[in-house]
Each structure stands twice: as C-alpha cells, then as structure tokens.
Amino acid sequence: MRRIALPVLFLTAAVVLTGCGAGGDAESTPTGPPVITATPLPAAKELADRYHKAGGAADVYGIRSAKDREGVLVLTVWTHRKTYYKNFDDVATGMASFLTREGVRLHQGYLLNLYGSDGTRLHSYDTTPVHNP
C-alpha cells in the first residue's frame, strides 16, 4: 500500500503546484508574451475581406467575434504586421464602426486582441464597463 501512496502523493502535489486540475479550468500565468497559434477560420477570413472592401487595414487577414464564458464579446484580429500600430485608436475605432455595420453588437463593450504575423499579441483593447466605468 505504501508503494502506491507515495507516487499518488507526489502526483497530487505536482498537480496542485502546477495549477492543473481534472477539470482543466485552472489558470496559469504565461511565461512569455500572449500569442495565438490558430489560423483564422474561413468565416474570419471572409469578414476580413469585407473589412478591406469597406476601407479597413489591408494587412488584416482574419476577424473573429465570439463571446467568452462570462458573455463578454471578444474580437480576435489576425494581421500580417510585425509591429504595433502607432495609431491603434484609429484602427480600433474604424474596426468597431465596420463591425457595427456588419451587425455585431458592441454596446456592452468588448475586448479586442490584435495578433501579428508571428502570433504575438500586438494590441489588447478593453472597452467593457467593468474596466471603463
């Protein structure tokens, strides 16, 4: 019995110390900059194409809008840029205007995460009421 108890104890300690759990909901602190590895799905590419036709930034190649577990709208934007936008407020305002015309409801605020060509997050913009009363 002791042979089994000791490894189970070590495994349990390792799980607790790493923040991992059976449910997979535990959050961990990233060690580097936030990145995205997924490429945009066809619907996100199509929305980016419409954004270009409406006069949006040509380097954007994917736009996805989805709600997180708390119901907050999260906008994910893929771009071919390697560095941040100097006038990001203009980009964010233009994108919000375009998305509103597309029927995306932004009245309760949103999170906008813009990722560069290597997957590194270049900008994060939060307009939710919690952070902008």
Residue 38: the pLDDT is 72
User: Bigger pLDDT: 35 or 91?
Assistant: 91
Nearest of 25, 99, 133 to residue 112 by alpha carbon: 99
Looking up tokens 């996100």 gives 44
Quick: pLDDT tens for 103-118: 999 988 999 999 998 8
Give CA–CA dist 77/60, Å, rounded.
7
pLDDT at position 10 over 50: no
- Please count the other Cβ atoms lying within 10 Å of the Cβ belonging to residue 127: 16
- Report residue 49: phi and psi, to 5°: -60, -45
What is the pLDDT of the chain when averaged over all its residues? 78
Q: Look up the pTM and report it.
A: 0.70
Confidence of residue 101 (pLDDT cuts 50, 70, 90): very high
Residue 32 is encoded by which pair of tokens?
């580097």
Angstrom CA distances, 76 to 12, 26, 54, stand at: 36, 22, 18
Quick: pLDDT tens for 17-66: 333 333 333 333 334 456 776 789 899 999 999 999 999 999 999 999 99
> Which residues does 64 contact at the CB level (< 8 Å), separation at least 6?
40, 41, 43, 44, 47, 75, 76, 77
